Amino acid sequence: MIKMKKTQAPGIGLIIALAAVLIVVLLVVFLPFGEKTFFGQQYPKPASEARGPKLRGTLFIQQNGSAVTSITQGSSFSICGSDLLANQLVIVGVNGYIPFDQTTTDGSGNFCHPYTRSLSVGAYTATAFQQKGKNWLSISTNFLVTP
């Protein structure tokens, strides 16, 4: 019979495996993954930044050359924007009505796009989108359609 020399205590492999699992769990809990940091919570983003980037500028409804907040059902109007990104594509429309239309801003960042779809009486939101780098920026305005 051959005798083997014992160099390790039985079960030491199990102890090493449990220690490794414990180290991994501690790393996940205390290192800066997600919202937690080693020293506590990260400083929260301001609400405006958390909602995503917005376009600077103004979006408005225009009828007969004037900015308006309500239009009569069946009348023609335009969705206009000013002080946006110059010479860039704009995706514009009324929320809930697809597809949105495409237009381009002029050299000053202005556009005025005639809206040709008929709207029922009610409250609406017009929105314009422009791409800046990898981000889509938006701007919107509310208006009413009256009988």
Domain ranges of the chain: 12-44, 49-146
How many Cβ atoms from other residues are within 10 Å of residue 85's Cβ?
16
50 by DSSP, 3-state: which? helix
Of residues 61 and 34, more confidence is placed in 61
pTM of the model: 0.62
Looking at the chain, the whole-number percentage of residues with pLDDT higher than 70 is 71
Rounded distance, CA 137 to CA 83, Å? Answer: 13
Q: In CATH, what number does 49-146 get?
A: 2.60.40.10
